[in-house]
């Protein structure tokens, strides 16, 4: 099970855990895999605090940090955050915030108190992510940086590699894998369309070997639909050097996922997710609900692009978070199709051990398939 990539990173098992929760990062890293902290949405100050905390828990073991710098978005290349924010804000047409407000009114979710001022939140841009990369690189146990939604800008690739840290990126199609190869990335995460979060349409079974072929000597990590040792076995058989999982950690006891969201995931089947642009402006696989249905319904406004839709939805997200008990049918719950098999809550450490145990059992099972004699 120890692949070249896992050995290079100092792992016992080639299990990469994408998560927004520092506890999950530390637990998976300490269990012999590697936790990767999703830093999108964090300020540099908050990321500093989280990584200092993780450093304290993991000794010399490695972890990673993930940022989002999409290939295309309104305001790309504008290095000044305030200017970028203004550009994005001015690209939100009239009527959109109104539509979102009415939607939550209909759902009985109380409005914000009069006079409450909200900052226009910007995320998923180069100007926002650059300081996060600086913070990550100032922590010596941060051994990898990953980027979602495109090949990282050339200067970021150079900065990370010059610091002796590996840099890779997610991709959902062979075309995007080729861009990553051409840019000289150190690893590629091939995410099939069944995965949670931003995702394409090609299924893992088809995508992984396609990307492995294109990547040549660059290691490929398989993502999308992996929640068991059996699925991990399949990923390595298809040429991957590791597995990158996101959904499975959401219902672990270490995760900060709200009890209400955990319950929605326990209740969901593998057909209850949808790819929708309704929160971030790019296709995200998440639990289908009244919010996604409304934005995807014909005749209603189409979701905006990125990062306008996210900025526009900011007010609604704050509103939902203030009244979680009334917002169950509207929440942003990114999760992949494996949600249908996520029906118990164990610790992240035990989850890693379950992966390993089942992987070994499958080895045994395959050996037993050989005819005797």
Ligand X SMILES: Cc1cc2nc3c(=O)[nH]c(=O)nc-3n(C[C@H](O)[C@H](O)[C@H](O)COP(=O)(O)O)c2cc1C
Q: Which of 350, 359, 358 is nearest to 24 (CA)?
A: 350
Element containing residue 148 per DSSP (H, E) = strand 142-148
Candidate residues 197, 242, 305, 314; the one interacting with ligand X per rule CB under 6 A: 197
The least CB distance from residue 227 to ligand X, in Å, is: 7
Contact between 66 and ligand X per CB under 6 A? yes
Q: Rounded to whole angstroms, what are the CA distances from 81 to 88, 123, 128, 258?
A: 10, 10, 7, 31
What residue has token string 């704050």? 318
Residue reference for tokens 């326990």: 266
- Binder of ligand X out of 1, 47, 51, 148 (CB under 6 A): 148
- What's the closest the beta carbon of residue 63 comes to ligand X, in angstroms? 14
Dist. CA 98–CA 94, nearest whole Å: 8
Closest distance of CB 225 from ligand X, Å? 5
Could you say which of 335, 348, 352, 362 contacts ligand X (CB under 6 A)? 335
62 interacts with ligand X by CB under 6 A? no
Piece of the chain touching ligand X by CB under 6 A; list 70-78, 205-213, 307-315, 332-340: 332-340
Tokens found for residue 29:
């890293």
Member of 334, 348, 355, 362 binding ligand X (CB under 6 A): 334
Mask for 76-115, x = binds ligand X (CB under 6 A): ----------------------------------------
What's the CA gap between 333 and 114, in Å, rounded?
28
Please identify which residue in 185, 202, 338, 342 interacts with ligand X, judged by CB under 6 A: 338
First to last CA, the chain: 28
Choose between 196 and 314: whose C-beta lies nearer to ligand X.
Answer: 196
Task: Confirm or reject binding of residue 330 to ligand X (CB under 6 A).
Answer: no
Q: Which residue in 94, 46, 93, 40 sits closest to 69, CA to CA? A: 40
Does 126 participate in binding ligand X (rule CB under 6 A)? no
* Helix, strand, or coil (residue 46): helix
Figure out which of the listed residues 153, 225, 229, 305 binds ligand X, where binding follows CB under 6 A.
225
Out of 48, 191, 306, 351, the residue judged to bind ligand X by CB under 6 A: 191
The tokens for 312 are: 């526009």
Taking CB under 6 A as the binding criterion, the range among 3-11, 90-98, 150-158, 222-230 that sits at the site for ligand X is 222-230
Angstrom distance (rounded) from CA 349 to CA 355: 10
Q: Which of 13, 18, 73, 295 binds ligand X (CB under 6 A)?
A: 18
Q: Which of 172, 195, 200, 305 binds ligand X (CB under 6 A)?
A: 195
Contacts of 59 (CB under 8 A, 6+ apart): none
Instruction: Give the three-state DSSP class for 325.
Output: helix
C-alpha to C-alpha distance for 36 and 38, rounded to whole angstroms:
6
16 part of the interface to ligand X, by CB under 6 A: no
Q: Name the closest residue to ligand X (Cβ).
A: 246
Q: Which residues, in sequence order, are CB contacts of 62 under 8 Å at separation 6+?
A: 9, 10, 11, 29, 34, 141, 142, 143, 144
| 226 contributes a contact to ligand X by CB under 6 A | yes
Least distance in angstroms from the C-beta of 305 to ligand X: 17
Residue 264: both structure tokens together: 């929605």
């Amino acid at each position: 099970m120890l692949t070249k990539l896992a050995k290079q990173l100092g792992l016992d098992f080639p299990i990469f855990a994408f998560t927004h929760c520092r506890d999950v990062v530390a637990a998976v890293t300490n269990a012999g895999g590697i936790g990767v902290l999703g830093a999108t949405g964090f300020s540099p100050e908050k990321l500093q605090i989280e990584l200092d905390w993780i450093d304290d828990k993991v000794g010399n073991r490695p972890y990673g940090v993930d940022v989002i710098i999409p290939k295309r978005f309104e305001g790309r290349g504008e290095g000044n955050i305030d200017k970028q924010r203004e550009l994005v804000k001015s690209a939100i047409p009239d009527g959109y915030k109104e539509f979102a407000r009415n939607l939550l009114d209909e759902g009985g979710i109380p409005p914000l108190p009069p006079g409450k001022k909200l900052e226009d939140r910007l995320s998923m841009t180069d100007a926002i992510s650059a300081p996060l990369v600086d913070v990550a690189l100032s922590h010596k146990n941060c051994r990898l940086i990953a980027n979602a939604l495109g090949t990282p800008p050339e200067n970021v690739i150079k900065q990370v590699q010059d610091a002796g840290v590996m840099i890779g990126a997610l991709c959902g199609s062979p075309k995007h894998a080729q861009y990553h190869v051409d840019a000289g990335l150190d690893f590629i995460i091939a995410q099939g369309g069944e995965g949670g979060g931003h995702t394409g349409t090609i299924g893992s079974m088809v995508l992984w070997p396609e990307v492995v072929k294109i990547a040549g000597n660059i290691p490929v990590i398989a993502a999308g639909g992996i929640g068991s040792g059996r699925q991990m076995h399949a990923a390595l058989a298809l040429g991957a050097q590791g597995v990158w999982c996101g959904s499975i950690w959401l219902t672990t006891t270490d995760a900060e996922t709200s009890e209400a969201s955990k319950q929605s995931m326990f209740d969901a089947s593998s057909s209850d997710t949808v790819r929708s642009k309704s929160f971030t402006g790019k296709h995200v696989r998440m639990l289908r609900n009244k919010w996604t249905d409304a934005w995807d319904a014909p005749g209603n406004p189409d979701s905006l692009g990125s990062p306008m839709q996210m900025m526009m939805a900011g007010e609604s997200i704050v509103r939902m978070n203030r009244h979680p008990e009334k917002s169950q049918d509207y929440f942003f719950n990114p999760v992949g199709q494996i949600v249908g098999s996520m029906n118990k809550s164990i610790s992240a450490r035990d989850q890693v051990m379950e992966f390993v145990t089942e992987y070994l059992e499958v080895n045994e099972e395959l050996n037993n398939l050989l005819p005797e004699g």
